[in-house]
Structure 1
Amino acid sequence: MRRLLPSISTAVLLQAIAMAILVFASCAYSLALARSTGSAPSLWIANGVLVGGLLRRPTRDWWLYLLFGFAGTVAAQLVLHVAPVVALGLAAAGALEVLLVSGAVRRRFPEIPRDVPYLSLGRVALASTLVACALSALLAALTVHIAQGTPLLVYAQTWYRAHVLGMVIVATLAWVVFTEKWRLFGKPARRWPFVRDMALIAGTTFAVFAQSRYPLLFLIYAPLLLAVFRHRFAGMIVGVALIAAITNIATALGSGPFNLILDGSRAEHALLAQVFLGVACLISLPLALILAERRQLEAKVRESELRYRILADYAGDLVMRIRPDGQRRYVSPSIKELLGWDAEEFSMPRPDLIHPVDRERVAEAVAELYRTGGSTITTYRIRHKEGHYVWFEALARLVPSPEGDGMMEIIYTGRNVTQRVIAEQALADSERRLRTITDNVPAVIAHVDASEHYTFVNAYVEHVSGADPRQMIGKTMREVRGEQIYGDLKGHIATALGGGMAMFEYEADYKGRHLCFQTNFVPDRDPEGCVRGFYALTTDITHIKDVEQELSRLARFDTLTGLANRRHFDERIATLLLQKYRQRSPLLLMMIDVDHFKRINDSWGHGVGDEVLKAVGRRIQACLRKNDLVARLGGDEFVALIEDVESSSIAEELARKIQTAMKREIAVGAVRVKMTLSIGVAFCQSVASADAFMRIADTALYEAKAAGRNTFRMAMHEPQQESVLASNGVRFR
């Protein structure tokens, strides 16, 4: 150690100390958050930070960073009162994990340039992470099991999930931050859009986890995918890191949609948070890698075209004059460099040099050129003198022979485009992978240009509407969506094309189903900031609306009998009293109790009692009109609210009708029950309030019960008059 320390520069030592401080802070944060909420860490940050730092340093300095990182990990655990032996064992497991991942990546990629093949890098990093985290989880679990008796498998699973997520998210973020620094946010003129999109991700995630009533996790994927499309790898890394930070803090504090799981433990919530973050990585990481690789391939294609343009200008293309019989009157000297043949060797027709797969196509192109004239461009393979095939792009034009013999000749200009074709094929493969990802995202993703024509639609649109996405390309939104839906969307389209974002909901009928959608329109700007169209992300939220309607129904109807509940009754009677007060028309209210209902529950149990209440509700409802309100207030108490009753005699008739309906026995399996009802009837006009109205009916009900039950009493209340009681056709004043 003494021999090594003098060779360490002050800058390296300070960086190692800074790394130790970062590791200490991240360890303390993860452990303190887990301990304060009584759950295991769902995302381990420290190892990812250390891996990101190691990959930016020479291998010769790793031992110093690992040593300081080990010290920071141990110190953080000791500060939080972890046993020294356990702290050392866990720190050793973490150091092993960091060393394995960093070593695997460095072995495969001694240097990581800006044009690194991201897919290969991602495969190596992911594979090494899975293996390293498994080994470190086993070592950590053994340490804790031996020292504290903690179940081996339980601790290993918790460690493994938290460390895999931490390595995938934090290590990538740390490497990008240490590499790009401020360049991560793009050029100065482009930093505001990046910050704005990250704020959108953070705001959406915060809004989703600020409530625990609705399962809205899917809303987070829209701004995340948008950030990946617009900012590529940087958008994915920073976006996932923001989502992970908010998700972990909210879950640890007991907030968010995971609370929808009834009686779910904190461990289950932490596991769901890990699954959610894993899915976010699974959706965004491949897309970011493919977009990054696609950008590299596009750069290679541009580079290739530039290179071959220089060759055409300075080295010369292959130029030939070809007679109708195939003889070549002229072959440029560049053929030696391009195909290895001498000009004299190539003067005679050589169809055998064309690749067998391309011969028929080239012959048809030549015949069509002689038949129609003009020019044609053909790409085909031709055999080099050394035996391999070279891709050529040939421009052939039919012109009169310069020899003046009336013959038509072909002027041929050909160039070697092998590298371009290979790059185009690789780009096509990348586009197919991108299409595969977007087609399997459970949302309709589309791009519309400034003239409102579709330029891209993923395959999920066919699942939603049955429309073929290929047939939609090139058509306007008005043609595809129809006048009615387009009229609903027109204002939002104008907002997006004007540079603003639009989020809205609308309804439409597709394939015989009425569906509800939530749509986001996001402007698409060119490098100069001008709007050239917009992206549309549409999610089917029909199931959410159905749940909302069902919750509304449950809030207003009794779950046992299906009748209206107390809340619905209170709302209806208040509305009707106000209406009848203005019209000066009477209103009928019946308070109904099942006589001696407690005996049913005591004798045959609550199951039979519930069935009896259902039967009573059905019989009362059957005696009244469909628009009359029958409600269950609770227990064995029912109420009926009836309007448009012209006289008290009709009210008496309805009360007798209900009591007559109860004379039949109620059959519940083998049990036969005969029930009676006590009814209090209030026939009122211009009553002061709902409470006063119900007191009148309740007084009449009390009179009916006092009279021996199985009867009814009616109270009539009119302005400037006293109540009148009647029973079985006998009236009392």
Structure 2
Amino acid sequence: PNARGGSPQPKDPKSMLARRDPHGLWPLFAAFVLAGGLSFYALALARANHSPVALWLANGALIGWLLQRPLAQAWPVLVSALLGFVAAKVSLGDSLLETMLLVPFQALETVIVSESIRRRFPQITQDTRFIDLARVGVISALVGSGLCALGLMCILHLWSQVGVLMALNTQFRAHFVGMVIAGSASLVFTLHLRRVPAGRIWPLVRDLILLVAITAGVCVEPRVPLVFLVYLPLLWLVYRHRFAGMVIGMAIIALGVSLATTVGVGPFNLVVGVTPAFRIVMGQVFIGITCFVALPVALVLAEQDRLRKQMQESELRYRMLADYSGDLVMRIRPNGDRMYVSPSVKDLLGWEVEDFHKPRPDLIHPDDRERIAAEVVKLRMEGGTTNATYRLQHKDGHYLWIEAFARLVPSPDGDDTMDIIYTGRDVTERVRIEQALLESQGQLRTVTDNVPAVIARIDMNERYTYVNRYVEQVSGEIPSEIIGRSVREVRGSGLYERLKPYLDRAYDGESVIFEYAAEYRGKPLHFQCHYVPDRDARGKVRGVYALTTEITHIKNAERELLRLAHQDMLTGLANRRYFSERVSIFLMQAQQRNAMVLLALVDIDNFKAINDTYGHAVGDVVLAEVGQCLQKLVREGEMVARLGGDEFVVLCNDIGSLKQAKAFVQSLWERLHITIDAGVAKVTVNMSVGAAICKNELSDDALMKLADDALYKAKEAGRDTYRYLTHGLGNGDGGGGSSGSNGANGHQDIKLGQAR
């Protein structure tokens, strides 16, 4: 238990290491020892044999270490490694100043390679493309080794008087080959070997021991050049252990060949008459050739493993999706056999996977079989993809609607055939909803097409998107020919200009009702239109619904009712009600023009005797003929009305003078002496006329009273005569009158229904 009484905490190796090394000194010490030891080995070996350095491994050994942490955190490790290099040089007797001048170039090479790899591959994993990694590593090693060799060349030439080309040549080869081998080994060790399972360690160790034995044998053989024998165990390592085997094997061969060549043994010492430096060059060339023999094989195998792993993972993901998906997934061969059927067939259709390995066209609904067979033939012939919705029988006997997607793909069996990848899902509920929606739409269309009104929708561009069939009865136009056309095109420019203001109000969100008249098929028609904005879910207007109803019959009925309300049924003249409504207007118009007004009351003399003698039918004929005669005697704009019984009235407001008014009254009286042929008898009609003539403000009641007084005077004078009274006309005010002839000379003959 810990100090707080809790349970023991698990031991973490990293935390234990941190407790042993709280200041992080272990990596610094390891870098110092590694870089210093490799530098000391290379320099001491070369100086002991008076030859150039064959293989510079110190810089490459740091690559894997530096890639594990950002450069800002890797500086302490890099500085420790450079201090190890300085210690190695100083311990061999080199000048401290010369050594310090070489340090920046050693660091430059390491930083260039590590940072180039880090920028291209921030994280190196098993899925990393090692071909790309090798390309970046080799190119950066060439650049880094070249820059480092140039710097070292300058210092060695100035300090030790070494030849320029000699210094550049030896330094570049040693650094480049060492960087490739040591850098690769460092990467493999830090990123790969620590994750190798224990079961694979011993085969790797066994194969490495074989390579070490063969390398040692060919390097100490003083008589026959057998160096090519290292290729067999190296390629075996590459084949069995891929990149890790290649890197470690190359490190063993490089160390063995460089060591043997430097100490003067091995196959390259069989060449007679050459300098030790040339033997070092041959060893370096051999090591480089060995790298370029093994590296492509290792990279190809690593890429093959990576692709195989990706394919396996992809296949696993696909199989998981297919096996656990609710959709039915199948791979169908050209003969119809199913090479794969997903287990979802059990949940979807109730059948076992084995039941679907053979074609089952019998499960397709009879009404859909021919269509689906045609789709399959088309897919086989044209390729690509297709989709279809059809009914498939469940094991229980009922049918489900299946939406199927199919694609023609090359068969993975490698027999140059094409398979169908089929995916089907249950859309029964969706199809039922769609069918219900279609049925509802059909019902709605039936209703709208038979509503006695034109129903249309107009979009924001003033184009029709829907019109019901009732428009054919109104205008004779076919709905399909209206869809897509603008309101101006369909209704014409003239009518469009009248509709445009109401349409704009509807687009602004206002519901508008208005009436208008138009002519269709040569007939004038009246319409009532209702514009209703069509709004989306957010309330934005996206169009207008138009409901247009023909109201011609209503307008005709209104006019007929108005006529019946204002017209005398027997004579066809205006009735008392209409006369009462119009008389005040006549007076106002006369006052505005300062004109005379004449109102004449006409009464049939002894009309009761006519009814009593000949009957009411003849009396009605007499009234009708008198009304027609009066209508013919007045001009346009003058008014004739039947006030009731046998009493008529004539109203004029365009009389030029009193003389003209008197002449009109006399003419009216004279021309009303008529004989009417009523069929059963000829009836002679006489009239009494009383006229009022005025030219000032006078109410309609006062005017009627004045005319009534004049009529009373005419009847008092013995009937069959006329009298008139004036008002506001100077000397004629309140008196006047004239008698008419009562003789036969004043009569006109009129037959029933015929005037002449």
Question: Smaller-chain TM-score range?
Answer: 0.3 to 0.5
Q: Which is greater in Rg? A: 2
TM-score where L is the length of structure 2: 0.47
